[in-house]
C-alpha cells in the first residue's frame, strides 16, 4: 500500500491529498468496472469515431443567443455527451395525482441520460466547452472542487481521462478518516484521480475558487504541470453555454407542446443561469416561466452569482453601463424565481423527503 501524499503545507492548512492507490485492488476494480459498464468496441468504424473525442468542433450559438450574449465560446465544443436527451411525459398517478386534477401535464428532460454512469447528469454539457478550452491551452491536468460525493467531480474526472487530461479533485468532507471507495468516490479513484480533501469550514473561509487556484499553482510550480482550473459545478461563463445550447435543444423537442413552466434545482448557479437566460431569449419560450429550487445557500446569493455569470457571458443591457451589475441582478430576478430549498443542509434529507422520493419512484418508475 502506498502512503498518503500530503501537500497541506503548500495549499492550505488541512487540505490534504487522499490519493491512495492499492495497486492490486484498484487494478481489479478498474477491470471489473470497464468490463461491466463499457462496450467492447470491435467495429473499426466505431473506433474511428472514438478517436475524435478530444477534437473540438466549431460552435455556432443559436441566433437568438448571439443577439444578446457577446462572449460566445471561441475554442469550440467537444462531443462527449449523448445528445439530445429525451423528454418523457410522466404518469401523474399516485402521489402525483393532484396534478391530473389540475389538468397539469408533467414532462421531464432526461439529462440524467446524457452520458452513462460516468458522465451522466447536467455537468457534461458544461464540460464539452470547458475541456475544449483546456485542450486549446495545451493543459495536461485539471483541478476542480465539490462535495465528497460530487457528481460534478466524478463527471469531470471521467471526461478528463477521455481526452487525455489528468484529474485532480478537491472534495469537501466532514470525515476525519479516509473517505473510502464508495459511490462517486469509487469512480473518481477508478480513473486515477488525485484526491484532496478540505473541511466545510476551510471551504467557507478560503473559498472554492481560491482553493482551486492554490492547487493549480502548486501543480504548476512544484510538479511542472500546466493545469486548468474549473470552478465548483463547472459554473462559469464558458460552462454555462452548455445550457444555452440545452435550451435550444429543448425548443426543438417541444415545438408542438405548450410549456408553461420549467423547474430545476440550483446548486452552483451555472445551469440555472443558462436555462433562465435561454428561456428569456428564445422565442419558443416567450411565455414560459422559470423556477429554481436552491439546494444550498440562499436565493439572493444565487441571483448575485448568476448575474456575474451573465455579465461574463457578455449579456447586453440597455441601461447605464456604470450600473450594469444591479441591472443584470434585476433582470435575473425577472428571468427566474428561486426558492429556498436546502432544508437541513446540502446532501442531508429528512424522512419525509426520502419517503416522497420513494413514492415518486414507485408510482412513476
Catalytic residues: 150
Q: Which of 237, 315, 245 is nearest to 270 (CA)?
A: 237
Residue whose C-alpha is closest to residue 212's, from 159, 152, 283, 274? 152
Distance CA 42, CA 45 (A): 9
Q: Report d(CA 229, CA 168) in Å as an integer.
A: 10
Q: Contact, 124 vs 110, CB < 8 A?
A: no
Residue 200 CA: distances (Å) to CA of 174, 175, 203: 7, 10, 5
| Residue 62 DSSP label | -
Nearest in space to 153 (alpha carbons), one of 118, 115, 111, 177: 118
**Backbone angle region of 183, left / alpha / beta, with phi > 0 → left and psi within -120 to 50 → alpha:** left
Sheet bearing 166-172, strands edge to edge: 16-17, 194-198, 166-172, 141-147, 227-229
DSSP string of 164-228, one letter each residue: T-EEEEEEE---SS---S-HHHHHHHHTT-EEEEE-HHHHHHH-HHHHHHHHHHHHHHHS---EE
Enter the C-alpha cell of residue 308. 456575474
**CA distance readout (Å), 352 to 2, 54, 286:** 43, 44, 36
Contact 194, 160 (CB under 8 A): no
Amino acid at each position: 500500500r502506498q502512503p498518503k501524499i500530503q501537500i497541506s503545507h503548500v495549499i492550505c492548512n488541512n487540505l490534504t491529498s487522499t490519493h491512495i492507490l492499492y495497486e492490486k485492488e484498484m487494478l481489479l476494480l478498474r477491470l471489473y468496472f470497464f468490463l461491466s459498464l463499457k462496450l467492447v468496441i470491435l467495429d473499426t468504424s466505431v473506433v474511428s469515431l472514438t478517436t475524435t473525442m478530444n477534437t473540438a468542433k466549431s460552435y455556432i450559438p443559436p441566433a437568438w443567443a448571439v443577439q444578446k450574449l457577446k462572449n460566445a465560446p471561441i475554442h469550440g465544443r467537444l462531443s462527449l455527451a449523448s445528445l439530445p436527451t429525451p423528454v418523457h411525459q410522466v404518469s401523474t398517478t399516485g402521489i402525483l395525482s393532484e396534478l391530473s386534477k389540475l389538468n397539469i401535464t408533467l414532462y421531464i428532460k432526461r439529462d440524467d441520460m446524457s452520458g452513462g454512469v460516468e458522465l451522466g447528469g447536467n455537468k457534461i454539457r458544461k464540460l464539452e466547452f470547458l475541456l475544449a478550452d483546456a485542450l486549446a491551452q495545451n493543459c495536461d491536468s485539471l483541478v476542480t472542487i465539490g462535495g465528497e460525493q460530487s457528481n460534478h467531480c466524478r463527471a469531470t474526472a471521467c471526461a478528463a481521462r477521455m481526452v487525455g487530461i489528468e484529474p485532480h479533485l478537491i472534495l469537501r468532507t466532514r470525515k476525519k478518516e479516509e473517505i473510502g471507495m464508495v459511490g462517486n468516490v469509487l469512480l473518481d479513484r477508478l480513473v486515477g484521480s488525485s484526491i484532496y480533501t478540505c473541511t466545510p469550514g476551510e471551504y467557507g473561509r478560503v473559498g472554492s475558487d481560491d482553493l482551486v487556484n492554490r492547487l493549480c499553482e502548486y501543480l504548476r510550480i512544484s510538479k511542472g504541470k500546466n493545469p486548468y482550473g474549473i470552478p465548483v459545478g463547472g459554473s462559469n461563463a464558458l460552462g454555462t453555454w452548455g445550457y444555452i445550447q440545452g435550451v435550444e435543444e429543448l425548443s426543438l423537442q417541444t415545438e408542438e407542446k405548450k410549456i408553461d413552466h420549467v423547474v430545476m434545482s440550483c446548486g452552483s448557479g451555472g445551469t440555472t443561469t443558462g436555462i433562465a437566460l435561454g428561456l428569456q431569449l428564445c422565442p419558443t419560450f416567450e411565455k414560459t416561466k422559470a423556477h429554481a429550487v436552491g439546494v444550498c445557500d440562499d436565493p439572493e446569493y444565487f441571483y448575485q452569482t448568476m448575474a456575474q455569470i451573465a455579465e461574463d457571458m457578455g449579456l447586453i443591457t440597455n441601461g447605464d453601463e456604470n450600473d450594469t451589475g444591479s441591472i443584470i441582478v434585476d433582470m435575473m430576478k425577472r428571468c427566474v424565481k428561486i426558492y429556498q430549498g436546502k432544508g437541513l443542509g446540502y446532501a442531508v434529507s429528512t424522512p419525509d423527503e426520502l419517503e416522497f422520493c420513494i413514492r415518486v419512484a414507485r408510482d412513476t418508475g
